[in-house]
Amino acid sequence: MSDADTPQRSIFFLSDRTGITAETLGATLLTQFDERSFRQSTLPFINTPEKARSALEYIEHTGRASGLQPIVFSTTVSEDVREILRDSSALFLDLFDTFVPKLERALETKSEHREGRAHGIADEATYRSRIDAMNYALTHDDGVGESGYDQAQVILVAPSRCGKTPVCIYLAMQHGVYAANYPLTDEDLEGTGLPRALKPYRDKLYGLWIDPERLHHIRSERRRGSSYAALPQVSYELRQAEGLYKRHGLPYAETTNKSIEEIATLIMQDKDIRRRSF
Amino acid sequence: MSDADTPQRSIFFLSDRTGITAETLGATLLTQFDERSFRQSTLPFINTPEKARSALEYIEHTGRASGLQPIVFSTTVSEDVREILRDSSALFLDLFDTFVPKLERALETKSEHREGRAHGIADEATYRSRIDAMNYALTHDDGVGESGYDQAQVILVAPSRCGKTPVCIYLAMQHGVYAANYPLTDEDLEGTGLPRALKPYRDKLYGLWIDPERLHHIRSERRRGSSYAALPQVSYELRQAEGLYKRHGLPYAETTNKSIEEIATLIMQDKDIRRRSF
């Protein structure tokens, strides 16, 4: 955090709908600069000239207050709204302004100026499939309801607390992928065969692995001092799990320093799962 | 879907990391054109000159096969990688190429050319807060463990199947917001007061409402022909719920034709919850 005395430059993510694309665009670009010096806000649903003028006023105000030119990352389809905001003394970077003319030339067609179709229910079937996939992930979390493995596109396999659940839910929410998971039990880890419930689904299995120190730390947050969290126990489980993955030729990913998004991307790449179209 | 005979133009979302930003950027722009004529693929982890050359070859191949110029939406920090891809006969639209020079001028500083910090674990604390928020949402789903309402930033209140759970999980995953929920029971709906468990948390409450026909449809998918799914029952619950929201001055949102992302954005705006910085 910067000092209260140091003026911060205002960054706005502005959109006629949720602002999610503007945030993603802006946040990715700002990773290349020192983010601590920015004060970031989202201005969603700016979809009328009135709201645009009121947003403009607010943006100008922050610029005068800090003495620093504000920056606006915008994804606004309405030309009326953009025209008002272009008058701003802020640096106004609009996704459509920037790229649509190039796309129109390449596609030899005019764009449709349809408002805010991203992140809405533009395509009811695609949207429903994401919700269905999420309900699926929640119902088939931690091996509950194994009868549903038939429907799974991928089944994540790992010892407890290696990150199966968040990755499954992310795969469902972001990509509409049906992802189930199966926690390896002590009994599974003692044997050399695939757990019985998984045998019919070998091609869907994907293992997760994590550094033992990290898993020890994660489990200790839940149950400090327990044998479940103890480093020897954790190391044993991970060694056995890795043996199982290798013995049965299962693809697996090391998750220690990876985000949910990165792990999900790896899984989809390795298992050749196509992302839903947006 | 277009006919198998009609050649489709290839669209690539290319990145040195997950490709999520490139997908978001490209998908938002493509909403302005007829998406059915595109064949979309993601090329993640293109982070070496070798991978860039192999991606280039693949992109060129699809262009020759379809006879249509491919389009590449790219978010690639590495100048080496971009230089190789710029040689393509595809329309190459790179986020950094396009916007970083403008930002450097406005900020009067050079960018840091740091690779793939978006969607990774760039900021360990922010990342952990998202995971913690997700675990929180999963543990406090459907009123289970009300003892945790103290920690909630918002508590969603609604009859069963109005969309509380997916919205809570989205708020956690995307924004690191602690969101709990409370399903209104028959007993809650018969009375006029706030449910007892919610009384201490009035300022955190946010209601959801949905069109009765829609809720009837959703519940029927679960339990066709049940009294739970019957239109009179559903209408009664929604009328009582709306009465409750109004009587106690709770903000609430109509969710019928809104996506999870839109509902989450409305809630954060109404409750003035700040998004986590990315």
Domains defined along chain B, listed by start: 9-107 (3.40.50), 124-270 (3.40.50)
Mean pLDDT is lowest, of A159-163, A253-257, A270-274, B102-106, for A270-274
User: In this model, does residue A14 exceed pLDDT 90?
Assistant: yes
Question: Cβ A75–B117 below 8 Å, yes or no?
Answer: no
E-assigned strand segments in chain A = 9-15, 38-43, 71-75, 91-94, 154-158, 179-183, 205-209, 252-254
Are B246 and B212 contacting, i.e. CB atoms less than 8 angstroms apart? no
User: Residue B241's closest CA among B169, B166, B176, B188?
Assistant: B188
Whether residue A26 is annotated as binding a ligand: the answer is no
Identify whether the C-beta of residue B192 lies closer than 8 Å to the C-beta of residue B245: no
**In the prediction, which pLDDT does B84 show?**
95
Instruction: For chain B, 278 residues long, give each residue's pLDDT as a single digit of tens.
Output: 445 567 889 999 999 888 888 988 998 898 888 777 789 899 999 999 999 999 999 999 999 999 999 999 999 988 899 999 998 999 999 999 999 999 999 888 888 766 655 666 556 777 778 888 888 888 877 666 656 888 999 999 999 999 899 999 999 988 889 999 999 999 999 988 999 999 999 999 999 999 999 999 989 988 888 999 999 999 999 999 999 999 999 999 999 888 888 999 899 989 988 765 44
Q: Given its phi and psi angles, is residue B161 left (phi above 0), alpha (psi -120 to 50 degrees) or beta?
A: left
pLDDT, residue B136, reads: 87
Provide the pLDDT for residue B120: 61
- Tell me what ipTM this predicted complex has: 0.78
What is the distance between the alpha carbons of residues B4 and B101, in angstroms, rounded to a whole number?
42
Contact B33 A107 (CB under 8 A): yes
Which is higher by pLDDT, A136 or A61? A61
What pLDDT does A213 receive? 95
Asked if pLDDT for residue A116 goes beyond 80, the answer is: no
Interface contact A75-B113, CB threshold 8 A: no
pLDDT band at A145 (very low <50, low <70, confident <90, very high): low
Distance from CA of A247 to the nearest CA of B (A): 28
B199 is in an annotated binding site: no
Are the CB atoms for A259 and B120 separated by under 8 Å? Answer: yes
pLDDT at B234: 96
Place of tokens 């599974």: A188
Q: What is the pLDDT of residues A164-194, one digit of tens each?
A: 999 999 999 888 899 999 999 999 999 889 9
CA distance B37 to chain A (A): 11
Strands B38-43 and B9-15: parallel
A125-139, A231-245, B241-255 — which is least confidently predicted?
A125-139
> pLDDT tens, B165-214?
999 999 998 888 999 999 999 999 998 899 999 999 999 999 999 999 99
A273 secondary structure, DSSP code: P
pLDDT tier for residue A117 given thresholds of 50, 70 and 90: low
Cβ B118 vs Cβ B21: under 8 Å: yes
Is B6 labelled as part of a ligand binding site?
Answer: no
How far is the alpha carbon of B79 from chain A, nearest alpha carbon, in Å?
13
Q: Which of A42, A170, A275 sits opposite B275 (nearest CB)?
A: A42
Please choose, from the candidates A133, A180, A127, A125, the residue with its C-alpha nearest in 3D space to the C-alpha of residue A157.
A180
Helix, strand, coil distribution of chain B in percent, nearest 5 = 50, 15, 35
- Asked if A18 lies within 8 A of B265 by C-beta distance, the reply is yes
Q: What is the mean pLDDT of residues A232-248?
A: 97
Determine which helix (DSSP H) or strand (DSSP E) holds A73, and give its type and residue range: strand A71-75
What pLDDT score was predicted for residue A277?
Answer: 45
B15: enclosing H helix or E strand: strand B9-15
Give backbone dihedrals phi and psi of A156, rounded to 5 degrees, phi first: -80, 135
Alpha carbon A250 to its chain centroid, in Å, reads 25
Range with lowest mean pLDDT among A140-144, A156-160, A224-228, A237-241:
A140-144
What's residue B277's pLDDT? 45
Contacts of A173 in chain B (CB under 8 A): 166, 169-170, 173, 260
Q: How far apart are CA A98 and CA A96, in angstroms?
A: 5
The answer to whether A74 and A85 have CB atoms below 8 angstroms apart is yes
Rounded Cα–Cα distance for residues A173 and A164 (Å): 14
Instruction: With H, G, I as helix, E, B as strand and everything else as coil, classify residue B227.
Output: coil
Q: pLDDT, tens digit, for every residue of A204-232?
A: 999 999 999 999 998 998 888 899 999 99
pLDDT at B132: 86
Residue A142 has which token pair?
A: 């931690």
Give pLDDT, residue A146: 59
- CB-side neighbour CA atoms (13 Å) of A148: 20
Residue A157: closest CA among A262, A275, A243? A243
- Chain A residues with CB under 8 Å of B257 CB are 121
Q: Mind listing the pLDDT tens digit for each residue in A55-73?
A: 999 999 999 999 999 999 9
* Residue B253 near residue B267 (C-beta atoms within 8 A): yes
CB A261 to CB B20 under 8 A? yes
